[in-house]
């Protein structure tokens, strides 16, 4: 069903005069999903090989023409190093749009929240953790209907120094999905 929705979005012609700008007061609703793999950025200590599927239902509110505050739920289904799940809330998140009109709207985003995980790896020594994420994305801009969304993010999980060694996990995550922009 998601594939059919994406094909519909890609096959529908979008002309510049039909593309309303995003603006203060607009709201968004959507669902994105994708795949993540652990990695070791310059500031990280991740050594375990971890892969997972990610799912994020979300809703947002434009507080200015370029700034959207949003919240998203987090569900990870790990398949490596073993089967496990993680669930939480990225309740404090924001996107800054680099442009407000056109066929595709690029943005940068960041967020934080809480996460409960059953993943048993040396980098995490608690069930209750915090999550931080940041990255870039592109949203299709349409007058009505679903808009495609593509994102890349670094997703960090750690206990924020509340217990143990606190090495944390960093994962490069690729997400795609659909969102609706609800204009007043």
Q: What is the DSSP letter of 17?
A: G
> Most distant CA pair in the chain: distance in Å?
57
Tell me the pLDDT tens digit for each residue of 86-114.
Answer: 999 998 999 999 999 999 999 999 999 99
Q: For residue 71, what pLDDT is reported?
A: 96
Q: Which residues of 91-119 are buried (b: 16+ CB within 10 A; e: fewer)?
A: eebebebeeeeeeebebebbbbbebebeb
How much is the pLDDT for 15? Answer: 45
Which pLDDT does position 14 carry in this prediction? Answer: 45
Task: Give residue-wise pLDDT tens across range 45-90.
Answer: 788 999 999 999 999 999 999 999 999 999 999 999 999 999 999 9
Element (H, E) at 86: strand 84-97
Q: If DSSP codes are grouped into helix, strand and coil, which group holds residue 49?
A: coil
């Amino acid at each position: 069903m998601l594939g059919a929705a994406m094909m519909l979005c890609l096959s529908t012609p979008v002309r510049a005069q039909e593309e309303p700008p995003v603006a203060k007061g607009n709201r968004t609703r959507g669902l994105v999903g994708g795949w993540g793999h652990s990695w070791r950025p310059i500031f990280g200590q991740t050594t375990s090989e971890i892969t997972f599927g990610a799912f994020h239902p979300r809703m947002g509110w434009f507080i200015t023409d370029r700034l959207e505050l949003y919240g998203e739920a987090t569900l990870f289904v790990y398949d490596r190093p073993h089967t496990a799940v993680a669930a939480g809330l990225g309740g404090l998140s924001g996107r800054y749009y680099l442009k407000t009109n056109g066929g595709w709207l690029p943005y940068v985003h960041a967020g934080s929240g809480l996460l409960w995980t059953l993943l048993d790896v040396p980098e995490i020594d608690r069930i209750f953790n915090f999550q931080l994420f940041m990255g870039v994305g592109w949203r299709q801009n349409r007058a009505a209907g679903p808009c495609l969304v593509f994102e890349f993010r670094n997703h960090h999980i750690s206990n924020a120094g509340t217990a143990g060694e606190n090495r944390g996990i960093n994962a490069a995550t690729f997400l795609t999905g659909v969102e609706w922009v609800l204009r007043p």
